């Protein structure tokens, strides 16, 4: 297991192609990707063995044409760099009508940097047979837990990422792995169904499988509770968010709003709030490939910028946004290593990596005790950003009622949190000293451009609208 031989073999060709294209273009970069692995899913009826969702192999060549940027994505680099450069030049040349629509953008810098990064899975290496056996055994274990269970699913997915970034003066290479394991339980009774999941993630498959293995009972218990859950009476409540729900708020409420390509497009309200209070003074938030070791961690981003650790909110005050290289150029700021592509087939945008609120000083039990009537909210389902107008919708799997300072056995599901972002963030009155970050999520930009991200934080006490 290690850096892809395919990219190693293509590196001389990539360097030749860069030099050939440099004769015509002032800036040229090539990103090569080789992302593979295995994804195995079992349920009560079938097993599937295939590639992870975001597997990809190919190249994207980016050139600066004196005005703006043009890109060409392809499966492989042709063996004749001269002919291939001529082909690329032809493809990226714009018609006069399109050229007229371009206005000049600053050229990217090409500073010398040669470095390799290697983060292999240091645990046991599993064969496909062993992973199938694990999935099958756990699926059977879940199915026999309760007669109301109609289906169970176990999925293990390991992704192996090799990437190479080449310019005239830059040669960056990275290899890393990530494993996700998810258990799903489905129950049905009297025309009602519940569908719950638990998961663990790590760069070490052995550790991931070990940790998720012990969660069958928890999964079945929650699924049964949710089967009998009631709908919440719509209203505004004091809530405590479990770190997984905290992460959803970090991601949707403010993460998307500080993606600086949104600043460039005049799509972010946050741009006008740098240096101002956007949250309660006890709130701090970070994002970055180096901010936390999780699924959003890497050595360099898809623009060839080294990953960083960015403090976004400090003591309630917005410090800065996060950015890809092109947005930073347009804004005259430094890139933060957040330029990410869904694959070599897609454009790079500013994207979150590992996004989380920082821990506070409160104890969870004190937070629960402080609530007369409210809910504790668990497990991300989905969310949607509104960076310009700061509306927010976060859907979590379930909540548990808190009455007179005590957690009850009354479950609600589903739980849709909505409201105005500053109202929500400024309502945060207690923060626990915990920190958990979950690397199981996918994030889209609008409704496309899916990348893996993590998010999380401590338990938060806030006041939100539930419906």
Q: Which stretch binds another protein (CB under 8 A): 112-120, 129-137, 203-211, 332-340?
A: 129-137
- Is-contact 416 395, C-beta < 8 A? yes
> b/e per residue, 232-257, with b = 16+ CB within 10 A?
beeeebbbbbbbbbbbbbbbbbbbbb
Site for another protein in 306-325 (CB under 8 A): none
Helical axes 128-143 vs 216-227, angle rounded to 10°: 40
Counting contacts by CB under 8 A, is residue 76 touching another protein? yes
Query: Which residue in the set 19, 49, 106, 137 belongs to the binding site for another protein (CB under 8 A)?
Result: 49
DSSP codes, 401-450: EEETTEEEEEEE--EEEEEEHHHHHHT--EEBS--EEEEEEEEEETTEEE
One of 50, 66, 214, 281 touching another protein (CB under 8 A): 50
Distance (Å, whole) CA 450 – CA 340: 10
Stretch that binds another protein, among 125-133, 162-170, 209-217, 351-359 (CB under 8 A): 125-133
Q: According to CB under 8 A, which residues from 143 to 182 bind another protein?
A: 150-151
E strand intervals along 270-385: 285-287, 310-314, 317-318, 339-340, 349-350, 354-357, 373-384
Residue list 380-419, contact with another protein (CB under 8 A): 382-384, 386, 388-389, 391-393, 395, 413-414, 416, 418
Nearer to another protein, 136 or 370 (CB): 136
Q: b vs e for 97-107, b when ≥16 Cβ sit within 10 Å of the residue's Cβ?
A: eeeeeeeeeee
In the shown chain, the binding pattern of residues 219 to 258 toward another protein, with x for contact by CB under 8 A and - for none, equals -------x--x-x--xx-----------------------
Binding residues for another protein restricted to 14-43, rule: CB under 8 A: 36, 38, 43
In the complex, minimum distance from the CB of residue 36 to another protein, in angstroms, rounded to a whole number: 8
- Picking from 151, 146, 144, the residue whose alpha carbon sits closest to that of residue 183 is 151
Helix (H, G, I), strand (E, B), or coil: what is residue 83? Answer: helix
User: Which residues, in sequence order, are CB contacts of 453 under 8 Å at separation 6+?
Assistant: 251, 295, 296, 351, 352, 353, 354, 355, 439, 441, 442, 443
User: Quick one: which of 344, 410, 330, 340 has its CA closest to 374?
Assistant: 410
Nearest alpha carbon to residue 182 among 203, 221, 159, 211: 211
Whichever of 166 and 185 has its CB closer to another protein, that residue is: 185
> Pairing between strand 235-241 and 373-384?
parallel
* Residue list 333-352, contact with another protein (CB under 8 A): 345, 347
Q: Which is nearer to another protein, 332 or 446 (CB)?
A: 446
Binding mask 83-122 for another protein (x = CB under 8 A): --------xx-xx-xx--xxx-x-----------------
**Only segment of 172-180, 187-195, 351-359, 400-408 that touches another protein (CB under 8 A):** 187-195
Name which of 319 and 381 has its Cβ closer to another protein: 381
Of 363 and 388, which CB lies nearer to another protein in the complex structure? 388
Complex with another protein: residue 250 or 430, whichever CB lies closer: 250
Quick one: which of 19, 83, 106, 128 contacts another protein (CB under 8 A)?
Answer: 128
In whole angstroms, the minimum distance from the beta carbon of 433 to another protein comes to 32
Residue 290 or 341 having the CB closest to another protein: 341
6 or 277: CB nearest another protein = 6
Taking the C-alpha atoms of residue 465 and residue 416, their distance in angstroms, rounded to an integer, is 8
Shortest distance (Å) from residue 32 CB to another protein: 12
């Amino acid at each position: 297991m290690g850096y892809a031989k395919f990219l190693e073999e293509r590196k001389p060709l990539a360097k030749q192609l860069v030099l050939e294209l440099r004769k015509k273009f002032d800036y040229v970069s090539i990103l090569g990707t080789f992302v593979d692995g295995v994804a195995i899913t079992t349920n009560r009826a079938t097993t599937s063995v295939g590639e992870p969702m975001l597997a990809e192999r190919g190249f994207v060549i980016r050139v600066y044409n004196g005005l703006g940027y043009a890109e060409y994505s392809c499966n492989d680099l042709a063996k004749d760099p001269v002919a291939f450069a001529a082909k690329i030049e032809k493809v990226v040349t714009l018609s006069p009508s399109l050229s007229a629509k371009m206005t000049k953008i600053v050229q990217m810098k090409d500073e010398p940097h040669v470095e390799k990064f290697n983060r292999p899975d240091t645990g046991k290496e599993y064969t496909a047979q062993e992973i199938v056996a694990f999935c099958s055994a756990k699926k059977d274990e879940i199915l026999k837990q309760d007669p109301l269970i109609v289906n169970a699913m176990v999925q293990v997915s390991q992704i192996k990422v090799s990437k190479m970034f080449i310019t005239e003066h830059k040669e960056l290479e990275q290899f890393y792995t990530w494993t996700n394991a998810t258990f799903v339980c489905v129950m049905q009774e009297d025309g009602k169904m519940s569908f719950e999941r638990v998961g663990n993630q790590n760069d070490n498959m052995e550790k991931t499988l070990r940790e998720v293995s012990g969660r069958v009972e928890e999964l079945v218990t929650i699924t049964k509770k949710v089967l009998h859950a009631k709908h919440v009476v719509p209203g505004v409540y004091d809530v405590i968010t479990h770190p997984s729900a905290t992460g959803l708020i970090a991601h949707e409420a403010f993460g998307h709003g500080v993606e600086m390509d949104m600043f460039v497009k005049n799509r972010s309200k946050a741009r006008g709030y740098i240096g101002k209070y956007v949250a309660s003074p006890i709130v701090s938030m970070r994002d970055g490939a180096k901010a936390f070791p999780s699924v959003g961690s890497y050595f360099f981003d898809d623009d060839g910028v080294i990953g960083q650790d960015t403090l976004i909110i400090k003591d309630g005050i917005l410090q800065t946004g996060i950015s890809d290289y092109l947005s930073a150029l347009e804004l005259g700021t430094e890139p933060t290593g957040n330029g990410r592509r869904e694959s070599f087939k897609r454009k790079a945008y500013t994207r979150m990596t590992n996004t989380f609120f920082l821990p506070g000083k409160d104890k969870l039990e004190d937070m629960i005790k402080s609530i007369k009537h409210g809910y504790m909210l668990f497990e991300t389902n989905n969310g949607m950003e509104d960076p310009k107008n700061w509306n927010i919708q976060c859907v979590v799997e379930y909540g548990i009622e808190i009455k007179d300072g005590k957690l009850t056995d009354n479950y609600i599901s589903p739980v849709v949190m909505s409201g105005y972002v500053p109202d929500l963030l400024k309502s945060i009155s207690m923060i626990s000293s915990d920190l958990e970050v979950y690397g199981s999520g996918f994030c889209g930009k609008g409704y496309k451009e899916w990348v893996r991200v993590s998010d999380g934080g401590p338990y938060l006490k806030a006041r939100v609208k539930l419906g």
